[in-house]
Amino acid sequence: MKLPYLVLDVFTRSPLKGNPLAVVPDADHLFDDQMQAVAREFNLSETVFLCKPQKDRNSASVRIFTPHQELPFAGHPTVGAAVVLGLGGKATALRIEEKVGLVTALFEKVDRRTGRARFTLPKLPSRIADLPDRLTVAQALGISVDDIGCELFKPAVFSAGVTFHLVPVRNAEVLRRISVNRGLMETAFHHDHNSVYAFTLTPGEPNNDIAARMFAMGVGEDPGTGSAAAALIGLLAEQDLGNAQTDRILRQGVEMGRPCAISLHYRKENDVLVHGAIGGEAVVIGEGTLDLA
């Protein structure tokens, strides 16, 4: 069995930057265990499988796998899938079926192998819990208790389909020197996948508003995490007054040498979050065929 695939770098337009992603464009004939085995073979943070949609008016059905499990939703695979679909057709509006629900994406072509996609969150972020034990959180991140907190932001747990422990830190220098203590991850970040998204505001940096790093058990550090950025929208929106549209640029992966730029968009009405979206660019850097005969 021949299985064509593409490799993209997501949240960037520069090859060998951003977050790598494998995309299998025609995966209808694959069983679930085969998808999982292929994702394990690529051994990237996620592999996307594009299948025919269940409803004709939709663009595709998307399955997202890590090397270990299927995910209901993830940001950089959604952006990458939208760019592949957009480059392969003429549509600028895409309707993508994911396990978490229907995702609507807008696509803009940059060149023959690069595109930009922005998608509405299929599930708005919601607060799951506070994260009051600052001492354990600080010890798990290898920083001091005084390093935790940024303006009015306090640690909390949010989810927009995938759960993250959101930890604001004092500044970009603190973010840079985080050194995770794996032995304390499960104790400090005990909700779901033990994933932590540390972030800070960056008023002194010209090209972004927020900087972040993501760490997870069994994964290590991830260069660009759209599902975490989606969860972060919930915490950001709590502190924003008024009902105007808010647009911010978040950088991630700089400390890994894989810089990513993630756009965040959200809107509140009557002090309630009613819309959230994230986006970014992606570039196709390779293609090939797996021979599974």
Would you please indicate which residues are annotated as catalytic (active-site) residues? 46
d(CA 165, CA 163): 7
Helices and strands (DSSP H and E) totals, the chain: 6, 17
Place of tokens 């085995």: 37
d(CA 282, CA 125): 24
d(CA 264, CA 168): 17
d(CA 291, CA 173): 46
Cβ 217 vs Cβ 186: under 8 Å: yes
Question: Where does 163-209 show beta strands of DSSP type E?
Answer: 163-168, 196-201
Place of tokens 């008024």: 242
How far are the Cα atoms of 154, 174, 185 from residue 142, in angstroms, in the given order?
Answer: 18, 10, 11
Q: Give kind and range of the element (H or E) at residue 205.
A: none
d(CA 196, CA 202): 19
d(CA 103, CA 125): 15
Going by DSSP bridges, is the β-strand pair 2-10/114-120 parallel, antiparallel, or unpaired? Answer: unpaired
Cα torsion 96, 99, 100, 101: sign? positive
Say how many residues make up the chain: 293
